[in-house]
């Protein structure tokens, strides 16, 4: 396999490295099918080559930096400061003036069913896959795809292919191996092989606990997959997290607490999500955050009187609790099924998670008077930290050129991902590959 046919792997510059595994020239490990390593060989037409000067952006990096200029070259921010002199015309710099509007890092959504979720009430309830416009229209420039209940008719191979498709369309995309059930579905035969050898796979999940749809895993099973995930993450220089779906079951996070008490695994390996679905579960989750876990709030709709916290309410309560502010994130569950069950496990109502829920939550928080710099890390830098993506989640020199501009009403005005505009003046501007082919 030639290096030219492979997308760059973050954190590695050696042409013989794939996801952290050193390979001989033109070879792949003999136990793994060669197709696992396929990367689109077509030119990445979505990657810009121009230099762009963005003037007068009120930067929240996520900390407030005031009005600054940003210089973007290709996919990277190469300069950020108070005032950059005009550059020579020969460089072909495109200059845009944002007139003091707020610029924030592109949102990172750590929990998205990019291939579609659902299936709990039959084949007709399968949710269709998401598009790049679904993501960037909601300010999401980096996404982590995963499988849920249906890890039978959907598999890691299709998830990986969809993830790579999103990368070729210009956003940053990663995925998790496995799904709700243990033993997890994998490509190479085990989670260590998937994480170490496959570029886009950075962890395992979403493994279900405290849910009637789970495989009812034992503590021993949970510890085994957590240990494999941790070691593989170390070997590959990746996140190495076990992303845990929390259901409505009364056991809540008891198994995670027991896992921390009865193993040497770092708390950061265990990454529970949907922790705001029950108020008692949320209190348990705050305790885990104090112990070193990063907990994830889901931006699902909450009705009056429901025994749950909205993501907005949950984030404020978390930050007010004096738990470590860096140990909380917010995700959308975009493309996922949001079912309600009766006492017999039958679906009585179903909604669908939407990527736009992230920016919607951010807007609710801003309208309630929360300072942008206080709440923004849960959507940006905190997510980059747990996912070990050092060039994401912040605005600054050397960071990836992922930017969202907010208007005076806290709506999305502009979105840039990897140096390319996807939204300008509140309108989508970047066509996907199938739309381009019909021009």
Active-site amino acid positions: 333
3-state secondary structure of 134: helix
* Inter-residue contact 326 to 292 (CB < 8 Å): no
Strand 102-105 relative to strand 403-406: parallel, antiparallel, unpaired?
antiparallel
List all residues 6 or more positions away from 103 whose beta carbon is below 8 Å from its beta carbon. Answer: 54, 57, 58, 59, 60, 70, 395, 403, 404, 405, 406
Here the tokens at position 131 are 């598009």
Pairing state between β 140-145 and 107-112? parallel
**With contact defined as beta carbons under 8 Å apart, do 231 and 263 qualify?**
no
Residue with tokens 């890390």: 377
Residue linked to tokens 């909205």: 310
Strand-pair partners of 414? 405
Any idea of the CA torsion for 128, 35, 10, 422, to the nearest 10 degrees?
Answer: -30
Shortest CA distance to 105 belongs to which of 417, 365, 424? 417
Q: Which of 400, 368, 374, 340 is nearest to 173 (CA)?
A: 400
DSSP 334: B
Rounded Cα distance, 228 and 135, in Å:
31
CB neighbour class for 353 (10 Å; exposed up to 12, middle 13-18, buried from 19): buried
Assign residue 11 a region (left: φ > 0; alpha: ψ between -120 and 50; beta: otherwise).
left
Task: Classify strands 140-145 and 76-81 as parallel, antiparallel or unpaired.
Answer: unpaired
Q: Give me the count of residues in the chain.
A: 439
Contacts of 42 (CB under 8 A, 6+ apart): 168
Rounded Cα gap, residues 353 and 206, in angstroms:
15
């Amino acid at each position: 396999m030639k290096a030219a046919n492979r997308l760059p792997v973050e954190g590695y510059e050696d042409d013989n490295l794939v996801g952290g595994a050193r390979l001989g020239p033109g070879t792949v490990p003999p136990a793994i099918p060669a197709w696992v390593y396929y990367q689109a060989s077509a030119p990445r037409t979505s990657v810009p080559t121009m230099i762009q000067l963005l003037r007068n952006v009120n930067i929240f990096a996520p900390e407030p930096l005031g009005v600054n200029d940003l210089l973007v070259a290709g996919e990277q921010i190469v300069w950020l400061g108070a005032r950059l002199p005009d550059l020579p015309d020969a460089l072909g710099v495109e200059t845009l003036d944002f007139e003091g509007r707020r610029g924030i890092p592109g949102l990172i959504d750590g929990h998205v069913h990019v291939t579609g979720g659902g299936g709990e009430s039959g084949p007709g309830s399968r949710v269709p896959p998401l598009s790049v416009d679904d993501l960037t229209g909601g300010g999401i420039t980096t996404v982590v795809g995963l499988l849920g209940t249906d890890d039978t008719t959907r598999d890691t191979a299709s998830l990986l292919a969809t993830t790579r498709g999103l990368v070729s369309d210009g956003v940053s995309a990663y995925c998790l191996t496995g799904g709700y059930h243990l033993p997890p579905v994998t490509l190479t035969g085990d989670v260590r092989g998937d994480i170490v050898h496959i570029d886009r796979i950075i962890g395992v999940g979403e493994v279900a606990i405290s849910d009637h749809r789970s495989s009812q895993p034992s503590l021993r099973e949970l510890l085994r997959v957590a240990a494999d995930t941790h070691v593989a993450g170390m070997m590959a220089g990746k996140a190495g997290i076990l992303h845990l779906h929390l259901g409505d079951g009364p056991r809540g996070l008891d198994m995670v607490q027991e896992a921390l008490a009865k193993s040497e695994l770092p708390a950061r390996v265990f990454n529970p999500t949907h922790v705001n679905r029950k108020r008692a579960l949320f209190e348990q989750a705050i305790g885990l955050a104090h112990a070193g876990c990063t907990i994830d709030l889901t931006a699902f709709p909450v009705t009056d009187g429901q025994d749950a916290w909205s993501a907005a309410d949950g984030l404020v309560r978390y930050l007010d609790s004096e738990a470590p502010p860096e140990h909380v994130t917010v995700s959308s569950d975009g493309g996922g099924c949001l079912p309600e069950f009766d006492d017999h496990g039958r679906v009585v109502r179903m909604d669908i998670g939407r990527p736009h829920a992230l920016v919607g939550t951010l807007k609710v928080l801003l309208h309630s008077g929360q300072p942008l710099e206080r709440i923004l890390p849960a959507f940006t830098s905190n997510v980059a930290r747990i996912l070990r993506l050092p060039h994401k989640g912040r605005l600054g020199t050397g960071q990836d050129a992922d930017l969202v501009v907010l208007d005076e009403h806290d709506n999305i005005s502009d979105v840039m991902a990897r140096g390319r505009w996807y939204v300008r003046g509140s309108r989508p501007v970047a066509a996907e590959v199938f739309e381009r082919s019909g021009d």
